[in-house]
Structures are given as C-alpha cells and as structure tokens.
Amino acid sequence: MRTKEETLLVHTDRLLLSGREYRGTSRIDGPLVYMRNTHPVGYGELVEITAPDGTHRSGQVLETSDEVVVVQVFEGTEGLNLPGTGMRFMGEPLTLPVSEQMLGRVMNGLGKSRDGSTIPQGAVEKDVNGQPINPTAREYPRDFIQTGISVIDGMTTLIQGQKVPIFSGNGLDHNKLAAQIARQAKVRGSSGDFCIVFAAMGVKHDVAKYFIDSFEESGVLDNVALFLSLADDPSIERTITPKTALTLAEHLAFDKGKQVLVIMTDMTNYCEALREIGTMRGEIPSRKGYPGYLYSNLAELYERSGKILGRGGSITQLPILTMPNDDISHPVPDLTGYITEGQIVFDRSMQARGIYPPINCLPSLSRLMKDGIGEGMTRGDHPHLANQLFASYSHVKDVQNLASVIGEEELTSLDKQYLEFGNFFENKFVNQSFTEDRSIEQTLDIGWEALSKLPSEELQRLSDDEIAEHYGK
C-alpha cells in the first residue's frame, strides 16, 4: 500500500516520463506492437513510434498493464522490427489540431498532409475520440434539407443534423447520389454557412478522384476537407479516419457555427478493419466474426451528429456502406440501421431497370421527417401524401408478385390500375437525372400525378379536402 506522498511522486514521475523514448519491442502482430518495461502508461494514450529507418508513425494504447502495453499503429507495422522500433508515450489521448483552414485540403486518415504540403496547424487541439453529447444539450433537428431528389425529399426527407446512411451494393450508383446530394442540398430560406467533410476509408483511388472532381465541378472544393485513407493505405488507418473527420466537423459546426455535411465511405471497410484488430487480439467475436462492441463503436461515430442548443451549426452525416451480398441483415448495415435515424436503401433490380437513383423507398426511412415536413415547412399535404404513396406502392409489390404467378391478364381491373401507378411512380417520380434539381412542390405534384392513376376511394390515407384540392389536377 502506498502513502499519499508516494502517490504524488508516482504522478510526478509519470509526467516527467511521458515523452521518453523506449527502444525494443517484445512482439509485433499485425497492426499491434507489444512493449514491456515501460513506465505506467495510461489507457488510450497517444504513442509516437519511430521506425528503424527513422520515420515516425502514430499509435494508440489499446490495453495497458504493469507488465505490457499493447499499441495499435495507425500507419501499419510494415518495416518495424523488434529491436529497432522506438516508442514514446505522450501522456495524453490522440488529438487533432483543428482549424477552418483545413477546408480545401487533402489529408490522410490522421489529418496529416497527403501530398507533402503543410497543413495549417490550428490553435485548438481536440481529442479525436470526442465525448458524448449530453442529451439535454441537444437541439432536436427539424430543418428540411431539399436535395432536389424526389424519392428522398418526398418519401425519406433529410433533416439538417440527421444521420442517414446509404445502404448500397458493389457497383451501384451510391457515389453518384452522394455527389448529387452534396451539390444540390440546401435549406430553403436560409443562407447558412455550408461546408463538407469527406472521409474515405479503404476505397479505391478512382472513387476519391470521382468525389474530388465532382466537388471541383460544382465549385465547392474550397469548402471541402478531405480525409483519405485509400485501399492501398494500411487498413488500421481506416479505424481512425472517421474519428479525425468528425473531430474537424465538430469544430466547424459547434465552434464555428457552420452547417456541415459529413460523407463517410465506405463504412464496411471501417468495420472490417476493426474486425481485423479484434481477431488479432483473440477477442471473442459476435456475429460473422465482428467484435461484440461494434454497435457501441459505430454509435460513437454516428452519434457525433446533430445540433447543440445555442451553437448554431449542425452535423449531418451521410455514411455510405456496401452491403456484402446485398444482404441488409449483415452486421454492418444491421447495426448501422439500429443507430442511425433512418436509411436510404438501394435496389439492384431498380438499377438494372435503368432507374436512377435506384432507391427502394419501402425499406428506406427517415425517422426525423415527421417534424420537418408539412404546413410551413414543406407543404400541408406532404405527410399524408407520403404515407399514401408508401401504402399504395407497397400494394404494387403484392400485385406484381401475384401477376408473376397468375399472369397480368388475370388481374382485377383495380390491380391493373395499381400496376400502372407503380410504373409511373418508378419511372417518373423516383427516376430523374443526375443534374435534375426538383423543388419540393414539383416533387409533391408528381406524387399526386402518380396517385391520380388510382381511383380516389383507394386513397384512404388522404383527407377528403386534400383529395379535392390535388387529386387529378
């Protein structure tokens, strides 16, 4: 047992010892390096690693004890060896110096320059792990974002400060959609200060290039901060990239009052990198080998969106993930859906039929739209109209199934009308071009045009007044 004086001494020692370099590690395993005989090192501390060739890398303490410290190295362990690797434990968590000047720059997953140019160092250092927002300090998001895309604005309305992922599959048009949203999104009647934070995890160079080109074309590149950790970068770097990006986003939104759109792609790669570390450490996995804490881990990212009372700004998150095998029950989309405030779900068969954006609105959802649409926000008939379109379109699916068994000719005349409605809905309402920017009124009017293919007594989710005003007009 130690006395108080001794305790104090230990703390002073620790302060003095942080930053001191140790050489020679005891084990290297994947992205993990084990170090013995250090001073007591804190959980989660930032580590600076010196490779045998003299270059520096950074890492974080994953586990600490009085015998051994486990460090994950964000740039990977390639080129490290046991005797020649040095480590400094910095006595503080991993931080990012943030500043507005990071907008317009291309950085790696740790916020360092990718092209050798210097990144302006901000005066404010922020812990990249963030801290949970006190629910009483949140402001409930309710400002409607017009994306100009009917199926989103009409059916799964985006709200400023919401987190909505795109559930896609390999080869589908998710990048195109994200680029279109980034270009067209606006809150009507507000001249807010917009910017974009873009985080790429494990995606190919051409995907990153696609986004950069598209930002450039729409003239917003100066307002975009890019954090790229691409397919050929060490996979471990992907685990820190979204945190770095969100740390800057928080600064821009909650210290500078900006409306920040965060695009993160591809979350599946992020989760796979986490799985890699978990497996390496011999952790007990849960479903499909993913760590049991994947839900909490993802929540720590996704919950860093929203609005805070009295701060002006907002963080809207648009994570993109590819569902392995298009399987929505795969742990990555599944756990994501349990955390985010809705989802936009892509459908391969719609893309095959040439529909862009290939969004199936039935499994898609916006949980926050209830407070952001209607009279004074979009239009009075919007809530019921959306509801009716959902109900009718879902009936179309039943009719299509039936038709595939008994043949279209055998359908009742009412069911045939439903098929006609369904065609119109998919080809005129959902389908639009990459450059088409529809106003919410246009969107709703096309919705009514679709419903006019059905007899009015089928429209039970709409009130008589709404039908009188809009039906068949």
Partner 1 sequence: MKDRIVGQVKRVNGPVILIKDVTDAAMMEMVRIGEQQLIGEVVKLHDGSATVQVYEDATGICPGDNVYGSGMSLSVELGPGLIGTIYDGIQRPLEKLMGVSGAYISRGVTFPALDHEKKWPFVPTVEVGANLTRGMVLGEVLETERVMHKIMVPPSIDECVVANIVGEGSYTVEDIIATVVLPDGREEKLTMTQRWPIRVPRPVHDRLPLAQPLITGLRVIDSLFPLAKGGTVAIPGGFGTGKTMTQHSIAQWCDADIIVYIGCGERGNEMTDVLREFPQLIDPRTGQSLMERTLLIANTSNMPVSAREASIYTGITMAEYYRDQGYHVAIMADSTSRWAEALRELSGRMEEMPAEEGFPAYLPTRIAQFYERAGLMQSLSGETGSVSIIGAVSPPGGDFSEPVTQHTKRFVRCFWGLDRSLASSRHFPAISWIDSYTEYLAEVQPWWSQHSEGTWQINRQKIMELLQKEVRLQQIVKLVGPDALPDSQNFILEVCTLFKTAFLQQDAFSEIDRFCSVGKQVRMLDLILEYYQRGSDAIAKGVPMVKIRRLKVIQEIARMRLTIENEDLAAFDKLQLRLERSIDQLGGIYED
Ligand X SMILES: Nc1ncnc2c1ncn2[C@@H]1O[C@H](COP(=O)(O)OP(=O)(O)OP(=O)(O)O)[C@@H](O)[C@H]1O
Residues 326-385 that bind ligand X (CB under 6 A): 338, 365, 367, 370
Q: How far is the CB of 12 from partner 1 (least distance, A)?
A: 12
Query: If binding is defined by CB under 6 A, does position 428 make contact with ligand X?
Result: no
Beta pairing class for 342-345 and 166-168: parallel
- Nearer to partner 1 by Cβ, of 108 and 314: the residue is 314
Q: How far is the CB of 57 from partner 1 (least distance, A)?
A: 20
Residues 355-390 as b or e (16 or more Cβ within 10 Å = b): bbbbbbbeebbbebbeebbbeebbbbbbbbbbebbb
Q: Judged by CB under 6 A, how many residues of this single chain contact ligand X? A: 4
Question: Alpha-carbon distance 473 to 468, whole Å?
Answer: 9
Choose which of 189, 405, 435, 473 interacts with partner 1 (CB under 8 A): 405
Question: Alpha-carbon distance 367 to 385, whole Å?
Answer: 17
Question: Alpha-carbon distance 463 to 450, whole Å?
Answer: 17
Q: Tell me, residue by residue from 158 to 197, as one string, x for binding to partner 1 by CB under 8 A and - for no binding.
A: ----------------------------------------
Q: Which does 353 bind (CB under 5 to 8 A by kind): ligand X, partner 1, none?
A: none
Q: Tell me, residue by residue from 6 to 45, as one string, x for binding to partner 1 by CB under 8 A and - for no binding.
A: -x--xx--x-------------------------xxxxxx
Query: If binding is defined by CB under 8 A, does position 402 make contact with partner 1?
Result: yes
Beta pairing class for 259-265 and 314-322: parallel
Choose which of 50, 95, 99, 387 interacts with partner 1 (CB under 8 A): 387
Q: How far is the CB of 55 from partner 1 (least distance, A)?
A: 27
Query: Considering only CA atoms, which of 262, 264, 249 is closest in space to residue 207?
Result: 264
Query: If binding is defined by CB under 8 A, does position 424 make contact with partner 1?
Result: no
Question: Alpha-carbon distance 434 to 358, whole Å?
Answer: 12
Query: If binding is defined by CB under 8 A, does position 140 make contact with partner 1?
Result: yes
Q: Tell me, residue by residue from 86 to 105, as one string, x for binding to partner 1 by CB under 8 A and - for no binding.
A: ------xx------------
Q: How far is the CB of 299 from partner 1 (least distance, A)?
A: 3
- Nearer to partner 1 by Cβ, of 136 and 435: the residue is 136
Peptide linkage before 357 cis (omega within 30 of 0)? yes
The DSSP output letter for 110 is T
The DSSP output letter for 32 is E
CB atoms within 10 A of CB 170: 13
**Where do contacts with ligand X occur on this chain (CB under 6 A)?**
338, 365, 367, 370
